[in-house]
Amino acid sequence: MQSKNKATLIGLTAVLLWASIVGLIRGVSQNLGAVGGAAMMYSAASVLLLFSVGFIRLKAFPRRYLVWGSLLFVSYELCLSLSIGFAHTSRQAIEVGMVNYLWPAFTMLSAIAFNRQRANFLIVPGFLMAILGICLVLGGDQGLDFAGMVSNVKDNPLSYGLAFSGAVIWAAYCTVTARIAQGKNGVTLFFMLTALALWIKFFATGGGTMHFSYEAIVYLALAASAMGFGYAAWNVGILHGNVTVLAGASYFIPVFSAALAAALLRTPLSFAFWKGASMVCAGSVLCWLATRGKGVRMPSASQPPQPSQGAQGQ
């Protein structure tokens, strides 16, 4: 029991590490640039993953998982990092990160449509609550203000568009890999491919100036560690700890993420924002409850529990 509790605690540190990603990515991009900073970050994280998670032979991967998993994972990470990096302000970076957390609701809908996941009526209010929460977040200090929301998105359609695309892509990744991964964990390879794609983009577009300062190095080290050690810690927790506790904690990542990003970036957030972030969390939880006892699967060790996979066992 003691070892199980210890493993659960280690798994919970992964939740906190992943929640810090938005603020840390923004800190890296402010010093090293959106593309160059992301390339450095994923390169460093890849090295950490090689030592913490390890790398398996390519022949051990199912070919379909290797192709589709790589394509979807890399596309998602590009959308996530660049959407935050291209944000005009720190507040906008936090909002963009919140848009990304629509992926649990999208994952549920995708699982119902393509994986024949059974769900009850809670899926409808859960999805609508998550969408309404994002509308509150994007509405600014006025709350549910559609004119303000449209104006906000028009200010930087690239960042918001990348974040929304990332949410859809990650939902597709979760749905596809649940069917074809066969228990394999390709996260180390996927991170290396993400770093490669970013370096190609960096040099193809003429590169850019990277200002290496003490602050930049600290942000880079923290961001790479949050990504690399986050996956390693989650792997321990999901295999040896209390999966139900970890699943419940993971659905509150949007609120944790906003709180940590606001502290790191010294950005005050309105009550309307926090209400919207809470609604995103509540919507995700309702989506998860919609599948309870509906034949859900154990979550993969390489990703947080998805609403379509749920949590079984203790």
Q: What is the mean pLDDT of residues 104-131?
A: 80
Q: Write down the H helix ranges in the chain.
A: 2-19, 21-32, 34-52, 63-64, 70-85, 90-100, 103-114, 123-138, 146-155, 157-180, 187-204, 214-240, 243-250, 253-264, 271-289
Q: Which amino acid is at 46?
A: S
The reported pLDDT for the residue numbered 273 is: 86
Residue with tokens 């994002």: 134
pLDDT band at 192; cut points 50, 70, 90? very high
User: Max Cα separation, the chain?
Assistant: 55
Tell me the percentage of the chain whose pLDDT exceeds 70: 89
pLDDT at 310 over 50: no
**Structure tokens of 163?**
């974040």
pLDDT band at 298; cut points 50, 70, 90? very low
Residues 230-275 have pLDDT tens digits of 887 887 776 677 776 777 777 788 888 888 999 988 888 888 888 8
**Structure tokens of 165?**
């695309």
Q: Which amino acid is at 279?
A: M
Query: Which pTM value belongs to this model?
Result: 0.84
